[in-house]
Amino acid sequence: MKYKDQLNREIYIPTLPQRIISLVPSQTELLYDLGLKDRIVGKTIFCVHPLEYLKSSIKIGGTKKLNLEKIASLKPDLIIANKEENEKDQIEQLSKDFPVWISDVNTLEDALSMIKSLGEITETQNKASKIVNQITQTRKDFLKQSKPKKSVIYLIWNNPYIAVGTNTFINTMLSEAGFENAISQSRYPEITLDEIKQINPDWVFLSSEPFPFKDEHKLEMDKLLGESKSVLVDGEMFSWYGSRLHKAYEYFKKIKKSAD
């Protein structure tokens, strides 16, 4: 069968995939929720959900530092990657020998399309549709309670500070959660404390990933800004674009309460 991925690349998959390697944590969790746990033969060190199952599966390196030899030894008949999370040269190398389906997710629509596509490829369309419907309904329920948006700077790295800008999935989810991104630059710009002070957002969100901001960083940020306006947030809820999305909107309710 021939399929097109989200980069509009044509992928030929001769038979129903039985040996799948996922190079993306949120998509690994999705595969599990599609009922494919017995077909997942490899995943990254960052694929941590569901922990009770995945802690015993084979690790093939980090998302940006893949062990290509180990991947080849597992003889996958499908590799699932992502444009942003994986390195282009490594994906191109793998594509020479294996079918590699690449996602490119910047919007909620992209995420739902990805879920449907992987359901089609793995012949789990019914479960994929159920997940999409669940996400759509929880989103609908959340948006009924929407309030005026407050501005926020969402930080993903420390020393230097790196913020989330436009043209990112996190930017989309900030809007979904009822916040306005105070960063107008694209992608992931570096930002200084002076610039944060000058922008003067209503809130500064300190993400749990990729840099694991903790209580001490919140205290430091509050001290530097002169007032308690920083919030520690679960980065998975803002950046994981698979089946975890159905949990995101309940989480957003809690964040809205703590930031109001």
Tens of pLDDT, residue by residue over 32-43, are 999 999 999 999
Q: What is the DSSP secondary-structure string of 12-53?
A: E--S---SEEE--HHHHHHHHHTT-GGGEEEE-TT--SSHHH
Q: What is the mean pLDDT of residues 70-85?
A: 97
What is the reported pLDDT for 255? 87
User: What's the sign of the alpha-carbon dihedral 62, 63, 65, 71?
Assistant: positive
Q: What is the mean pLDDT of residues 221-250?
A: 91
Tens of pLDDT, residue by residue over 148-199, are 789 999 999 999 999 999 999 999 999 999 999 999 999 999 999 999 999 9
| Average predicted confidence (pLDDT) for the chain | 93
Tens of pLDDT, residue by residue over 189-220, are 999 999 999 999 999 999 999 999 999 999 98
What is the reported pLDDT for 225? 83
What is the reported pLDDT for 54? 59
pTM: 0.93
| Domains identified in the chain and CATH numbers | 2-137 (3.40.50.1980), 150-259 (3.40.50.1980)
Q: Which of 170, 229, 167 is nearest to 201 (CA)?
A: 229
In this model, does residue 121 exceed pLDDT 80? Answer: yes
In this model, does residue 83 exceed pLDDT 70? Answer: yes
